[in-house]
Structure 1
C-alpha cells in the first residue's frame, strides 16, 4: 500500500531564526524538541498529522559521535550541510507501519542509505504538557543524491498530548498539498520515490500520488517557468518547494502583506522564495 507523507525535513542554521521566519509567514511553531544525537527541531504541525521539521545542530560533539556510530539521519544531514549549506530541504519522510520491513525493501531494491535507527525524545505541547515520542526509521537514497534522502518513519509511541493549538495557523494553512522535487531527468527520480513509498502504479512519469499529497518531479526549466523562481542549477535531484493548501488565498495574502513578507502572485498562487529559516520555496494555493 502506498505510504502516506509523514513530514519534511528543512535544515537550518539557527532555530530561533527559523521560528521567527515561520511565525512571520503565519505558521504556529511548536516548542523546541531535542534529539538524543545532537540535533534539535521546532516543528510546524498540520491537522492531518503531517508536519515540517526545521532541523538544527544543538550539540556538535553529540552529533560527531552519532555520525561515528553510523547514525544515518545525522550523517546525511551533515553531508547536506557540507554540500548545499546550512539552509535547505533535505528529506521527504513517508509513514511506516513496520520500519524493519521498509528497511528490507530498501536493501533488496539497492537504495538503502544505511542501518535503521530507533530513538525516543520528549514532546511538549503548547500548554507545556509533555510525553515521550518514539520512532523507528529506515533510510533510502538514490545513488546520485548527496545529502538529500528519504526515510520511512514508524511512530512507535505517539504522544498523548493535545496538538490542536499547534495545528491552527494564522495564514490559513491546513495541509501540505504538494512537494516539488527538481531533477535534470524526472523519470529516475520518480522511479526512486515510487520504490521508497511502495507506490507501485501510483507513480507516473513526473509525479507520485500519495494518499494524502502529491510529489511532483520537475525539470529545472519547467520549475522556473511554473513558479517564477530561479532555475535550479544543481545537477543532482533536489527537493525544492512545498505547496500548502489554504482556505482563503486572499486572507493569506493579506496576512503576508501585514507582516511585510515579500511574495509574488503567480496566477492563483502565492509564491515565496526560500530564505534563512525557510529552506524551501513556499507556495500557497486555495483548495476547497
Structure 2
C-alpha cells in the first residue's frame, strides 16, 4: 500500500498574547526589533507584528474590543475562543500558538479532522496593513486549527496566505541583527505524549527524541518540547514537573553578530544571561516568554 506523500509545513509565525500593544511595542523596540504599525482584525483583536527576513514573524496580539471578541467567540471563531481561554488560564501574556505555512488550509482541515486533532472550524479573513511610507495594503488568510484537549493553553494552526501582506523590506531590518527564528520551545513533563499532535500538525513523521525532550523540524525552524530538566539546562528556568500540557516557553532567534546584539542590550539596559553561547533574555512586560539570541 502506498502511503500518502508528506510535505512538512514550515513555521509561519507565532502568536504572542500581550496585555497592551503599546507596552509590547516599547519592549520589542528596546530589544532592537523593528515593529510594524498596529493593525486590527475584523473580530476584535489587534497586533503589531515583527517581520523577519526568513519569512516568519512574531504576532503580539492584544484585545482591541472585548465586545467584538466575545461576539466572535460565540459565533464559533476558534482563534478568538482559544485566545480568550489562554488569557483566562494563563494571564494576558505568553506564547499561545505556533502557526505553520500551508498552500492549502482546506486540505489541512480535512486531514486534522481525520486525525482527530481538529481545533475548530476553519477561519478566513482579511486585514489591512499600513506601510512605513504611509501606503496601505491588504492581507487575506485561511486558517485550519489543530489542538489537543490535554493541552488547553496551546494550539497550532496552518495559515494559507491567500493574499500575502505587502511587507516593506525596511521592516526586515532589525537593530539587534535578528534574521530569523531558529527554534520555538514548549515544555511538558513527558514531551512524547504530544508527539502525535505535532507530527500531524506539521505533517512530518521524523522526530528526534532525547533525554531532554523531543524536536521536530518545521522548515528552517525547530519545534522543541522540553521536560523540566531541559528547561533548566538550556534556559535556567524552573518549570513544574507535575503541571501537564504543552506550554509556550521560549523563542530562539538567529542573529548576524552576537557581539553587536550584546552591546545593544547593554546600551538599552536589557537584562540577560549567557548560556550555551546564546544570550537569554527572561520574560518581561510586553514579552511574555523567554527570548534567546544566537548565531
User: Is TM more than 0.5 here?
Assistant: yes
The reply to whether residue 147 of structure 1 matches residue 156 of structure 2 is no
Is residue 151–residue 244 contact of structure 2 (8 Å, CA) maintained in 1? Answer: no
Q: Secondary structure at the match of 1:200?
A: coil
The reply to whether residue 110 of structure 1 matches residue 116 of structure 2 is yes
Residue by residue over 1:158-207, the C-alpha shift from the partner in whole angstroms, topping out at 9 and shown as x without a partner, is 13x35211110000000000011111111122321111011123x22210
Q: Which runs of 5+ in 1 are unaligned?
A: none
Q: Quick one: distance in 1 between partners of 2:152 and 2:177?
A: 34
* Cα distance, 1:151 vs structure 2: 0.3
Within a 5 Å distance, the mapping from 1:174-189 to structure 2 comes to: 174-189=179-194
**TM-score computed with the length of structure 2 as normaliser:** 0.94
Q: Which of 199, 204, 207 in structure 1 is aligned with 2:208?
A: 204
Q: Secondary structure at the match of 1:29?
A: coil
The reply to whether residue 192 of structure 1 matches residue 197 of structure 2 is yes
Is residue 116–residue 138 contact of structure 1 (8 Å, CA) maintained in 2? Answer: yes
Q: Quick one: distance in 2 between partners of 1:197 and 1:101?
A: 13
Q: Secondary structure at the match of 1:30?
A: coil
Within a 5 Å distance, the mapping from 1:43-82 to structure 2 comes to: 43-82=49-88
Q: 1:281 to 1:78 in 2, by over 3 A?
A: same
Q: Quick one: distance in 2 between partners of 1:232 and 1:182?
A: 9
2:234 corresponds to: 226
Q: Quick one: distance in 2 between partners of 1:210 and 1:86?
A: 27
2:98 corresponds to: 92
The reply to whether residue 30 of structure 1 matches residue 28 of structure 2 is no
Q: Quick one: distance in 1 between partners of 2:141 and 2:11?
A: 15
Q: Quick one: distance in 2 between partners of 1:276 and 1:108?
A: 40
C-alpha RMSD of the superposition: 1.1
Count how many residue pairs are aligned between Structure 1 and Structure 2. 284
Within a 5 Å distance, the mapping from 1:235-274 to structure 2 comes to: 235-274=244-283
* Cα distance, 1:232 vs structure 2: 4.5
Q: Quick one: distance in 1 between partners of 2:174 and 2:240?
A: 30
**TM-score computed with the length of structure 1 as normaliser:** 0.96
* Cα distance, 1:228 vs structure 2: 1.2
Q: Quick one: distance in 2 between partners of 1:237 and 1:166?
A: 31
Q: Which runs of 5+ in 2 are unaligned?
A: 1-6
Q: Quick one: distance in 1 between partners of 2:183 and 2:162?
A: 26
* Cα distance, 1:222 vs structure 2: 1.6
Q: Quick one: distance in 1 between partners of 2:110 and 2:88?
A: 29
